[in-house]
Every structure is written in C-alpha cells, then in structure tokens.
Amino acid sequence: MGHPSLGLPPDDPVAGRPAAAARLRAGREQLAERSLAAAIARDPTLVDRYDETARRTFLRDYLQHAEQLARALETGRAHWLTDYVDWIVPVMRRRHVPMRDVATIVQGLGDATAAMLPPDDEASTRAIVEDAVARLDRPRHLPGDRPRGRIASLLWKAAGIGGW
C-alpha cells in the first residue's frame, strides 16, 4: 500500500480492472441484494439466526463491502478488501456475529459479483475474495467465537471469571 509519509506513491486507480470496478459501483444496490441472497443460499441458517433488522444491517454493510472490492479491483491490489476484512472483525464481534458467518457474507459477495462481471474479471475477483476469507481464519480461533457449553460456562462462572 502506498503511504505518503514513507515516500511511496499512492495506488494507481487504473492499474487493475477499472471497468469492472465501475460496473460494481454502478450496480451497488443490486449487488448488495444479490450478495445477501447468495450468502443465505450458502448457509440457509442465517435466516434463523438473524432477525430482519440484522439482515438489513448486513444489506447496508454490503454497500461498503462492494466499494472495498471495487477499489481492490481497480488498483489490482487485494489489500483493499483484506485489510477491510481485518477492520470489520471487531465490529462484527460486537454485533455477536461469528467469524464463520462473516466468511459466508464475504463469500456471498464473491458469488454475486461472479454473476455481474465477465469471466475474465471473475477470476481476479474470486482471488481477491478468497484472500479476504483466508484472512478470517485467524480470528476464528480467538475466544468468544465458539459457543460455550453449559459445563464450561458453569466452571467459568464458579471461578468468578466471565460472570455470564
């Protein structure tokens, strides 16, 4: 990533696939709806676990996800989406969304863009989305992402640690 205080030039907005990025930006609202539908198709239990308000929040979030993917496509550098995925981990944890669901949401974005873009752009988009999903592997192993069992919860509560 170019950083001006380090003397590095900024990312070139035409180095990658600017036409594909423009197409994603033009159809952001449709892309958001298709992405949520693709995520639900990947994991139908999302409908059971999240109410209508949470799904609307995911739909709103997809607008920013699409913008970050468009930046990654137009510059040809995947760090725009992978760094963004790192950034949304604490936000999603605060909303009590496990990382496997975040990965499903990001994969839904990749599935929806595959339908909007030509096949040659689809391959680069898939690579960017796979890098972003791979970045979510580490936070999946952090405490709090897996539901605690009854016995473990009782032991932690009895010890006075994590009193919930």
- Going from N- to C-terminal start, the domains of the chain cover 12-158
**Does residue 161 have a pLDDT over 80?**
no
- The predicted pLDDT at position 137 comes to 81
7 three-state secondary structure: coil
- The predicted pLDDT at position 136 comes to 86
- The predicted pLDDT at position 11 comes to 77
109's tokens: 């974005």
Closest-CA residue to 20 (of 79, 69, 61): 69
User: Measuring CA to CA, how many Å separate 70 from each of 30, 48, 76, 112?
Assistant: 14, 31, 10, 13
CATH homologous superfamily of 12-158 equals Phycocyanins (1.10.490.20)
Q: Rounded mean pLDDT of the chain?
A: 85
